[in-house]
Amino acid sequence: MTTAPTKKTSESIRDEAGNLAEAAHGIIAATAEAAEETGVEVRKQLDAVVDRGREVYDRVCETAVDGARAADEIVHEQPYKSLGIALGVGALLGYLLARR
């Protein structure tokens, strides 16, 4: 009599272990898919941020180059006035830094 319940119990345990293994595989698969989707989304967001950073960098470079050209033109058109302004700014900065 004890062999029948033991056999049934071991089969039941084996079935439950199989069910648990299947459930674990399902959870692992679902988690991997979710992690992969999250990783893909993070990569997309990172690419978008990098693209925006490049655009901002390009605009800043263009603005800096335009400003440098404008300053160059002004210095060539009015060299003495530019020299006076540079001397005044340099003197002011020197005075302020010397007070520290």
pLDDT above 80: residue 8:
no
Percent of the chain with pLDDT over 90: 32
pLDDT tens for each residue of 27-65: 766 666 666 667 667 777 777 888 888 888 888 889 999
pLDDT band at 3 (very low <50, low <70, confident <90, very high): very low
The pTM for the full model equals 0.47
**CB-count burial class (<10 Å; 0-12, 13-18, 19+) for 75:** middle
Higher pLDDT, 24 or 76: 76
What angle (nearest 5°) sits at the alpha carbon of residue 17, between those of residues 12 and 19?
Answer: 95
The total number of structural domains that make up the chain: 1
Q: Which ranges constitute the DSSP H helices of the chain?
A: 3-77, 79-99
Range(s) of the domain holding residue 73: 3-99
Alpha carbon of residue 66 to chain centroid: 29
